[in-house]
Structure 1
Amino acid sequence: MRSVVTGGAGFIGSHLVEHLLAQGDEVVVLDDFSTGSRRNLASAEGSPTLSVVEGSILDRALVDAVVTSADRVFHLAAAVGVRRIVEEPLESLRVNLHGTENVLEAACSTGAVLLLASTSEVYGKNTSDGLTEESDRILGSPLKSRWTYAAAKGIDEAMARAYFDRYGLRVAIARLFNTVGPRQTGRYGMVVPNLVGQAVRGEPLTVYGDGLQTRCFSYVGDVVPALVRLSETPEAYGRAFNLGGAQEISILSLAELIIEILHSPSRIELVPYEVSYPQGFEDMRRRVPDNTNARKCVGFEPQTRLDEIVLAVEKSVRERAEGRNSSEYPVLDSAGPVAPSERDRESRRGASEAEEIPARW
């Protein structure tokens, strides 16, 4: 099986690459390294079945060349992170719209299966209890750059469905809900590595707004296998699937949990939005997924507890600070992370930087 992973040097993408290599795939990574890192692929770079191509999904000719003869494509490359989206809305729109169209065209012309990574951001300000794939989208003004990512990813999904309807493209859509785990950095506002890093360093944990906004965090090791199964399941084509965590928690409670688990001397500091974001910045008060469709279609069931996720991220943060590579994601049990040699390779899996704008605030 020949698999292409756009954004394969990113957080989720690098875990996905390792998973695909472990199951015997020939893997080609396409990444411009704007947010991804070669360091994320360190444990896989020695594989004779891995090829890494540096370039942008905006380069149509390059995308065509990379996707040629591919059996399937995992499209994870995207402009992500709330700061980047707010500060560079035009470039973000170009990458997320034109880049996705290039990948759709390439997959369609070669007959490859496509897994499109989307985001819970498409639901916008909908605070329903258990968002289903049919839930309404409630977005703010299109003139506010805050909503450009959600708008673009919604159009990406619409284009994917149109290619399915008109050309029979075998495409499945995964809406990721705050995927976290080893190798994720706080560079673009990702909340868990930000807070864990602050706790490890003994710094104040910065929580934006009143901290009562809630999210459901999902572990990369739970999400990645589901991405692969969706690509392999014909019943998933032409449809979107939520992939999110099972535990709803406020950002304030998350910060308190991190301090407790890591025995950190840090305190929590509430920071008004206007201190770090443009005037009029809007947040989502709640984001809770209904995973019923993914469970029925591919057996997706989040297994990793939030305290286990925190410990795995702490290990990654410390390794990064020490200049060591976080090798793959550990399988977790009640005792916390276990060594990679004890890992069950068949249960692993990840993706790239195509995850949703995270709930840093």
Structure 2
Amino acid sequence: MGTSGLVIVTGGAGFIGSHLVERLLAEGHRVAVVDDLSTGTLDNLRSVRNDPRLTVETATVSGSRRLAGWMRHARGVFHLAAAVGVELVVRSPIHVCRANLRETEVVLELASRRRVPVLLTSTSEVYGRSARPEFAEEDDLLIGPPTHPRWTYACSKLMDEFLAMAYAQERGLPVVVTRVFNTVGPRQTGRYGMVLPRFIDAARRGVPLRVYGTGRQRRCFCWVLDTVEALVRLFRCPEAYGQVFNVGSTEETTILGLARLVIRLLGSSSKIERVPYAEAYGPGFEDMQRRRPRVTKLARYTGFRPRTPLKEIILRTAGAVPDAGAAEHGTGPRGRARPKDE
């Protein structure tokens, strides 16, 4: 991926996508964004909106009139466009299935015609009901039944992964799959169920922080610029193509512990309110009790693993401390670590 090449980012007006676009522009790339703004917003790109090297088309991937032309000149594609968020998944499962499967197929087909490298973002949700203490890329996956809409997103993204690997094997497409665990930071919205922005907003307003279920479910939260750093490094690593990588933090907390920490760090007077899953998402909702990634493979191939502490993540996300992440990663090492044997 040369420093003057065109890079396509689907979902580039979204939370992670907009941070990635800023990173690519800072490195000297021309960037083409396709985003239908269903969960993203052009406000996320306001810091770079007037950069002449940035082009934005407001469209779905499958409805884009410019994607095929861009693909003829592209050095690579970061495919981040997806229907995301627990509330969206539960309320609109048809949209989730269609959006995730159809758009990914379009990207892979167009890219395969010219062997344009693709980085596909998947999700930790594909690990399903697994009760392992941490998840590794080679683990078996345990998905719940189709009668529970909770698993719609996981299955659609898992099919994306299978489709990507099929294009790699059958068409020789250079593609790497990243299973992104909980990523947080500025520009993330709580509108679709994301927990940290919900908690920060409630703490600022002094209203109760609503914790779903027992609150004992454990999660790891990764700083968005750490996620972007991992994606960029994997994209630049030829040895990573044809493989799957976890991307996320390994620092665990319970959701109840997260709520308490947000209240303490922001000096809020808010209380904590426990809400049954059935009340929040309807009957039959299932949740994973633990979601901790093993990131040794990511470190082995790229020399990088996310390490930003949770306390710092919360303060940066809330704007309580300056964001030093861009300076840390924007000029970081760009070399590739040679992989060891699996």
TM-score norm. by structure 2 comes to 0.93
- In the alignment, which of 134, 149, 161 is matched to residue 138 of structure 2? 134
- In the alignment, which of 327, 331, 336 is matched to residue 346 of structure 1? 331
- In the alignment, which of 220, 223, 243 is matched to residue 219 of structure 1? 223
**Structure 1 residue 188 corresponds to structure 2 residue 173:** no
Where does residue 109 of structure 1 map in the other structure? Answer: 113
Secondary structure at the aligned position of 1:175 is classed as strand
Residue 91 to residue 342, structure 1, CA distance change in 2 (3 Å): closer
Where does residue 295 of structure 2 map in the other structure? Answer: 291
| d(CA) in 1 for partners of 2:268, 2:210 | 14
Q: Partner amino acid for 1:36? A: G
- The alpha-carbon deviation at position 340 of structure 1 amounts to 8.9
**Structure 1 residue 93 corresponds to structure 2 residue 97:** yes
Secondary structure at the aligned position of 1:270 is classed as strand
4+ residue runs over 3 A deviation: 60-63, 338-345
Where does residue 42 of structure 1 map in the other structure? Answer: 46
Secondary structure at the aligned position of 1:164 is classed as helix
- The alpha-carbon deviation at position 139 of structure 1 amounts to 1.2
**Equivalent runs, 1:326-337 vs 2, <5 Å:** 336-337=321-322
Q: Partner amino acid for 2:99? A: V
| d(CA) in 2 for partners of 1:29, 1:105 | 18
**Equivalent runs, 1:223-242 vs 2, <5 Å:** 223-242=227-246
Query: Which consecutive unaligned segments of at least 5 residues does structure 2 have?
Result: 334-342
Where does residue 121 of structure 1 map in the other structure? Answer: 125
- The alpha-carbon deviation at position 170 of structure 1 amounts to 0.5
Report which structure shows greater RCO (CA 8 Å, sep ≥6): 1
Where does residue 258 of structure 2 map in the other structure? Answer: 254
Q: Partner amino acid for 1:109? A: R
- The alpha-carbon deviation at position 278 of structure 1 amounts to 1.6
- In the alignment, which of 64, 67, 74 is matched to residue 63 of structure 1? 67
Secondary structure at the aligned position of 1:138 is classed as coil
Where does residue 21 of structure 1 map in the other structure? Answer: 25
- The alpha-carbon deviation at position 144 of structure 1 amounts to 1.9
**Structure 1 residue 11 corresponds to structure 2 residue 15:** yes
Contact 1:60–1:102, Cα closer than 8 Å, also in 2: no
Secondary structure at the aligned position of 2:179 is classed as strand
Secondary structure at the aligned position of 2:153 is classed as helix
Where does residue 358 of structure 1 map in the other structure? Answer: none
Secondary structure at the aligned position of 2:33 is classed as strand
| d(CA) in 2 for partners of 1:262, 1:17 | 30
- The alpha-carbon deviation at position 209 of structure 1 amounts to 0.6
Comparing 20-29 with 103-112, greater Cα deviation is found at 103-112
- The alpha-carbon deviation at position 344 of structure 1 amounts to 6.3
| d(CA) in 1 for partners of 2:308, 2:329 | 15
Residue 159 to residue 205, structure 1, CA distance change in 2 (3 Å): same
Contact 1:221–1:347, Cα closer than 8 Å, also in 2: no
- The alpha-carbon deviation at position 110 of structure 1 amounts to 2.1
Contact 1:195–1:205, Cα closer than 8 Å, also in 2: yes
Q: Partner amino acid for 2:285? A: F
- The alignment-based identity, stated in percent, is 49
Residue 62 to residue 144, structure 1, CA distance change in 2 (3 Å): farther
Contact 2:34–2:64, Cα closer than 8 Å, also in 1: no
Contact 2:11–2:81, Cα closer than 8 Å, also in 1: yes
Where does residue 324 of structure 1 map in the other structure? Answer: none
Residue 91 to residue 230, structure 1, CA distance change in 2 (3 Å): same
Contact 1:57–1:95, Cα closer than 8 Å, also in 2: no
Contact 1:58–1:95, Cα closer than 8 Å, also in 2: no
Contact 1:11–1:36, Cα closer than 8 Å, also in 2: yes
Where does residue 353 of structure 1 map in the other structure? Answer: none
Q: Partner amino acid for 2:67? A: V
Secondary structure at the aligned position of 2:285 is classed as coil
Q: Partner amino acid for 1:185? A: T
- The alpha-carbon deviation at position 146 of structure 1 amounts to 1.2
Contact 1:273–1:281, Cα closer than 8 Å, also in 2: yes
Aligned length: 329
Residue 81 to residue 344, structure 1, CA distance change in 2 (3 Å): closer
- The alpha-carbon deviation at position 166 of structure 1 amounts to 1.0
TM-score norm. by structure 1 comes to 0.88
Residue 277 to residue 338, structure 1, CA distance change in 2 (3 Å): closer
- In the alignment, which of 173, 177, 180 is matched to residue 181 of structure 2? 177
Where does residue 340 of structure 2 map in the other structure? Answer: none
Q: Partner amino acid for 1:7? A: G
